[in-house]
């Protein structure tokens, strides 16, 4: 009208924005206010304060609001199918897409309690429909996705949630926050950190004479939330942007997330009755990557048992040094002969294949005589650390039904009363008229039984086969290049399986192992003096930190070629200090549970020592590592899940009074050999985009 020189034909508004503000204050009080507040208190009771999405960077203590965005465009054919689904269920397009988005957030976070925020126009009365002013409110939409529902059921739940929220939308969001008083943080917004919006109509303006209009998309570099998905329905399809906090996410992660959202929408539009456990995030290429490419570890060899390989070195170089104990040394030939003498004695006592034999020793050469002798006799050793309480030792002897216990005069006295036959290694003759023939060990033959710490209840004996141990030793020899002339100290208790890595890696490579007494390990300066000839060293993080500090004060480990650290979460600053303190040595992070045969993966620390997060690396030879959700489906890169271990390293199971149990062991559905199993570690991890595994904590800790 103004363009044509006429007066405005619009009637004057009956109310102004100030009238609305006064009305709202007067209206929201008393019974109405209590009814609104009561609804939201009930809906949001015990809601999670933070949606724990997997981020590329740690959440800063204070939000910076730096952001970026990535565009998404979905085809018109998919949009029409989503509309059809909504009509069939009495739901709007908004409800359908919100349902799919919350399913995606659930799969990413591992949570079944998903809370998002969503703006609503707020023009609930005829008087304000055409009034200029800001009426938008924010609704908190909380959906329960528990019970593995079908998507159709999820859509029903979301419909109920959104309709209830619409009915109680008059309570301003800021008043809701003030009333509920959630725990506040400068690091994230209250009640929700993810926002969703959808405009189901074209926002362009047509029909203005003399004017040409077009939409201009803003290039935003800020965000108030972790994620904000905004979509608009066009005749050509769904278009929009996902805005994200650059403090938390890298662009590649957001691109993958949008691809996964499209896959979820495609699947639910095709089959609304699909259960959430069957909704697949992975495209064919992604699935091939996480299941095959990053697990391409096939070695294709059959490795001899550890004691057979040791015996071969004894025949090849009998005078080579095998053991260093303080200032004394024992050759390969001497160790092999003493082990054969013990084996003959054990065979005479009835020890044979699959016979569990207790081993109670200090960290002296007799310890390795005992291990090798039990294996030569065909038995499997069960460590009985003399430092353990008598009650635990007695429990293991009874639980494993040990017929024989091997000890020395110094350790026999710590054992409680038992019915097993006691063999004193220090009382056996130094020579034997005839060595006992070595009992062949197959890959499936039992090598040892290591009892867990019992942190989840009663300790369980993990049954590990010779084939698994042999594969681990061969894979680490190939990965780390151990050669004769290397010296590696054994610092761990032999009741922990990592001791086998420390002792047998050198002894199956023609190198030497240095046995260190428990008391010397605790005196770090004295320890470094004793192991000054070491070329390879492994230690748990707490001990490695002390070693690094002592080495900085008085350098002694000048021959060190490789330093290994594992057995617990390894701090990034420790890895940096290791590279700085041992500039001529490589540093490696090691990871693996007892049930996966000592080690499953390794990660080399870069020369600059800069490491983000807690990487545990890539799988070793013949080991397969899978990151799965709670229902066993593989997770894409960046999305946390439980780590499952497959391949040659999986133990046989657990020994207990009830016999062999398969607790935490499940069939391998990902193309393993017939009868292959996976071990569920209980560790929460994720694949990084470069195929490196990152440790996040325990599954039940949500670290």
Q: How confident is the model over 167-178, as pLDDT tens digits?
A: 999 999 999 999
| pLDDT score of 203 | 60
Tell whether the model's pLDDT for residue 210 goes beyond 80.
Answer: no
Range with the poorest average pLDDT among 216-225, 230-239, 242-251, 484-493 = 216-225
The residues facing 245 across adjacent strands are: 67
Check if the beta carbon of residue 72 is closer than 8 Å to that of residue 241.
yes
| 636: confidence class by pLDDT, cuts 50, 70, 90 | very high
The pLDDT of 431-436, averaged and rounded, is: 56
CA–CA distance, 108 with 194 (Å, rounded to integer): 13
DSSP 294-333: GG-------PPPHHHHHHHHHHH-TTSEEEEETTEEEEHH
Strands (E), 121-168: 137-144
Q: What is the 3-state secondary structure (H, E, C) of 347-362?
A: HHCCCCCCCEEEECCC
CA–CA distance, 512 with 260 (Å, rounded to integer): 52
| pLDDT score of 703 | 34
The pLDDT of 659-668, averaged and rounded, is: 77
CA–CA distance, 235 with 157 (Å, rounded to integer): 28
Strands (E), 458-507: 461-465, 487-490
| 535: confidence class by pLDDT, cuts 50, 70, 90 | very high
- For the chain, the average pLDDT equals 91
| pLDDT score of 698 | 86
Q: How confident is the model over 33-85, as pLDDT tens digits?
A: 899 999 999 999 999 999 999 999 999 999 999 999 999 999 999 999 999 99
Range with the poorest average pLDDT among 325-334, 378-387, 490-499, 578-587 = 325-334
DSSP 501-565: HHHHHHHTTT-EEEE--HHHHHSHHHHHHHTTT-SEEEE-HHHHHHHHHHHHHS---TT--EEEE
Check if the beta carbon of residue 108 is closer than 8 Å to that of residue 54.
yes
Q: How confident is the model over 89-148, as pLDDT tens digits?
A: 999 999 999 999 999 999 999 899 999 999 999 888 888 888 888 899 999 999 999 999
φ, ψ of residue 650 to 5 degrees: the values are: -75, 130
Tell whether the model's pLDDT for residue 702 goes beyond 50.
Answer: no
| pLDDT score of 676 | 87
| pLDDT score of 205 | 63
- What is the value of pTM for the model shown? 0.88
The pLDDT of 536-560, averaged and rounded, is: 96
| 664: confidence class by pLDDT, cuts 50, 70, 90 | confident
Check if the beta carbon of residue 177 is closer than 8 Å to that of residue 185.
no
Tell whether the model's pLDDT for residue 588 goes beyond 80.
Answer: yes
The pLDDT of 247-259, averaged and rounded, is: 96
CA–CA distance, 29 with 318 (Å, rounded to integer): 93
Check if the beta carbon of residue 601 is closer than 8 Å to that of residue 693.
yes
| pLDDT score of 433 | 45
Percent above pLDDT 70 for the chain = 96
Tell whether the model's pLDDT for residue 658 goes beyond 70.
Answer: no
| 436: confidence class by pLDDT, cuts 50, 70, 90 | low
Q: How confident is the model over 144-167, as pLDDT tens digits?
A: 999 999 999 999 999 999 999 999
| pLDDT score of 487 | 97
The pLDDT of 309-318, averaged and rounded, is: 95
The pLDDT of 494-512, averaged and rounded, is: 96
Chain centroid, CA 471 distance in Å: 23
φ, ψ of residue 331 to 5 degrees: the values are: -80, 165
Question: 490-504: buried (b, 16+ CB within 10 Å) or exposed (e) per residue?
Answer: bbbebbbbbbbbbbb
| Nearest alpha-carbon partner for 51 in 151, 138, 171, 140 | 140
- Pairwise pLDDT comparison (79 vs 608), residue with the higher score: 79
């Amino acid at each position: 009208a103004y363009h044509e020189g006429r007066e405005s034909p619009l009637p004057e508004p009956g109310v102004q924005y100030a009238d609305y503000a006064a009305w709202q204050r007067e209206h929201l009080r008393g019974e109405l206010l209590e009814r609104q507040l009561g609804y939201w208190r009930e809906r949001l009771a015990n809601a999670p304060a933070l949606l724990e999405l997997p981020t590329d960077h740690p959440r800063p203590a204070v939000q910076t609001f730096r952001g970026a965005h990535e565009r998404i465009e979905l085809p018109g054919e998919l949009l029409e199918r989503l509309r059809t689904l909504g009509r069939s269920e009495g739901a709007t397009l908004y409800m359908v897409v919100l349902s799919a988005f919350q399913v995606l957030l659930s799969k990413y976070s591992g949570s079944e309690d998903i809370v998002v925020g969503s703006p609503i126009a707020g023009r609930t009365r005829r008087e304000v429909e055409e009034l200029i002013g800001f009426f938008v409110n924010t609704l908190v939409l909380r959906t329960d996705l528990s019970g593995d529902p079908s998507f159709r059921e999820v859509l029903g739940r979301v419909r109920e949630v959104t309709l209830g929220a619409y009915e109680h939308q008059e309570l301003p969001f800021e008043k809701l926050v003030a009333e509920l008083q959630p725990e506040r943080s400068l690091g994230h917004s209250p009640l929700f950190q993810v926002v969703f919006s959808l405009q189901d109509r074209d926002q362009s303006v047509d029909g203005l004479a003399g004017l040409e209009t077009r939409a201009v998309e803003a290039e935003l570099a800020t965000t108030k939330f972790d994620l904000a998905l905004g979509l608009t329905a066009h005749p050509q399809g769904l278009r929009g942007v996902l805005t994200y906090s650059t403090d938390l996410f890298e662009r590649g992660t957001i691109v993958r997330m949008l691809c996964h959202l499209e896959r979820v929408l495609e699947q639910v539009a095709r089959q609304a009755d699909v259960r959430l456990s069957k909704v697949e995030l992975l495209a064919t290429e992604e699935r091939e990557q996480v299941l095959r490419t990053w697990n391409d570890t096939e070695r294709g060899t059959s490795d001899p048992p550890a004691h057979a390989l040791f015996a071969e070195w004894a025949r090849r170089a009998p005078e080579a040094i095998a053991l260093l104990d303080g200032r004394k040394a024992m050759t390969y030939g001497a160790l092999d002969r003493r082990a054969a003498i013990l084996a003959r004695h054990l065979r005479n006592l009835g020890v044979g294949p699959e016979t569990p034999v207790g081993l109670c020793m200090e960290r002296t050469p007799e310890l390795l005589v005992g291990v090798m002798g039990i294996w030569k006799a065909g038995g499997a050793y069960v460590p009985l650390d003399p430092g353990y309480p008598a009650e635990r030792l007695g429990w293991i002897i009874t639980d494993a039904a040990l017929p024989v216990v091997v000890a020395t005069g110094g350790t026999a006295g710590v054992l409680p009363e038992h019915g097993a036959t006691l063999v004193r290694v220090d009382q056996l003759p130094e020579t034997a008229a005839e060595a006992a023939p070595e009992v062949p060990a197959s890959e499936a033959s039992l090598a040892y039984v290591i009892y867990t710490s019992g942190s989840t209840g009663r300790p369980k004996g993990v049954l590990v086969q010779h084939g698994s141990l042999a594969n681990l030793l061969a894979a680490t020899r190939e990965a780390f290049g151990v050669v004769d002339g290397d010296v590696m100290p054994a610092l761990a208790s032999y009741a922990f399986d990592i001791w086998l890595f420390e002792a047998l890696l050198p002894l199956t490579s023609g190198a030497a192992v240095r046995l260190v007494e428990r008391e010397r390990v605790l005196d770090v300066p004295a320890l470094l003096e004793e192991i000054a000839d070491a070329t390879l060293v492994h230690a748990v993080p707490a001990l490695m930190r002390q070693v690094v500090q002592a080495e900085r004060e008085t350098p002694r480990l000048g021959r060190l070629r490789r330093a290994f650290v594992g057995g617990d979460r390894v701090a990034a600053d420790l890895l940096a200090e290791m590279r700085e303190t041992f500039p001529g040595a490589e540093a490696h992070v090691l990871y693996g549970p007892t049930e996966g045969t000592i080690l499953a993966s390794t990660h080399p620390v870069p020369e600059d020592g800069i490491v983000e997060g807690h990487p545990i690396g890539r799988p070793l030879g013949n080991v397969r590592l899978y990151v799965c959700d709670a229902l066993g489906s593989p997770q894409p890169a960046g999305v946390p899940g439980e780590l499952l271990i497959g391949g040659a390293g999986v133990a046989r199971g657990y020994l207990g009074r009830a016999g062999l149990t398969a607790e935490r062991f499940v069939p391998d559905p990902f193309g393993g050999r017939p009868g292959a199993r996976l071990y569920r570690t209980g560790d929460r991890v994720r694949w990084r985009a470069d195929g490196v595994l990152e440790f996040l904590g325990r599954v039940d800790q949500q670290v």
